Amino acid sequence: MERKRCNFGFGTKNRVSEKALLYHDMRWCKPEHREEELFAMLVLEGMQAGVSWDLILNKEENFRRAFDGFDPGTVASYGEQKIEQLMRDKGIIRNRGKIEAAITNARAFLKVQEEFGSFDAFLWGFTNGKTVDHHLTDGMDMPAKDALSEKISAELKKRGFKFVGPTIIYSYLQGVGIVNDHFDYCEFR
């Protein structure tokens, strides 16, 4: 018997990849507090701009390898030689702007950690550590962005982050569990 999932593409194996199902079931809208995973998701969401999330999921392990496990300290130290190496890596998205943004974001991420003690404290501070649960019943109710993503986007941009517009940040907030947009009937809430 098939389990009940959100009906915007996660409902059947025929419509989505196994990786997408696992992402939906195990990670999407689940609270994340590990620093490297918060950074990883920020990079992956930025890389997703203009391409499908399925493509990102299919390349995720390659991204993790290429970006040294998404250790922000290591990524922050990347120079031109590493950028050129990444530009030749067929296992990832070879977009110079996105690669350079990941490095810029690693540096900004470290500054936020220094200021707030952790990126987790900074990010979850916008909701006082609580998940915003929209209790959706229909896919038409899910926004592409909202006031929270606009506020966090503006704050990140002010701190020097790149590829962090409100739509990317809304998806990021779902990805790290600050926003729960699983439908009410979904067994993976």
Q: Has residue 165 got a pLDDT over 60?
A: yes
Q: Has residue 13 got a pLDDT over 80?
A: no
Among 28, 32, 45, 172, the active-site one is 45
Q: Has residue 7 got a pLDDT over 60?
A: yes
- State the Cα–Cα distance between residues 136 and 106, nearest whole angstrom: 33
| Any domain includes 1 | no
| Any domain includes 12 | no
Among 23, 124, 170, 172, the active-site one is 23
The DSSP bridge partners found for residue 49 are: none
| Any domain includes 76 | yes
Output the domain CATH number for residue 81.
1.10.340.30
41-56 pLDDT, tens digit per residue, is: 999 999 999 999 999 9
Active site residue 45: yes
Among 53, 78, 124, 172, the active-site one is 53
Active site residue 115: no
**Nearest one of 166, 169, 103, 57 to 95, comparing CA atoms:** 103
| Any domain includes 10 | no
Number of domains in the chain: 1
Active site residue 53: yes
- Residue 62 has φ and ψ, to the nearest 5°, of -65, -40
| Any domain includes 189 | no
| Any domain includes 3 | no
Structural domain of residue 25, as residue ranges? 18-180
pTM recorded for the entire structure? 0.94
| Any domain includes 6 | no
| Any domain includes 7 | no
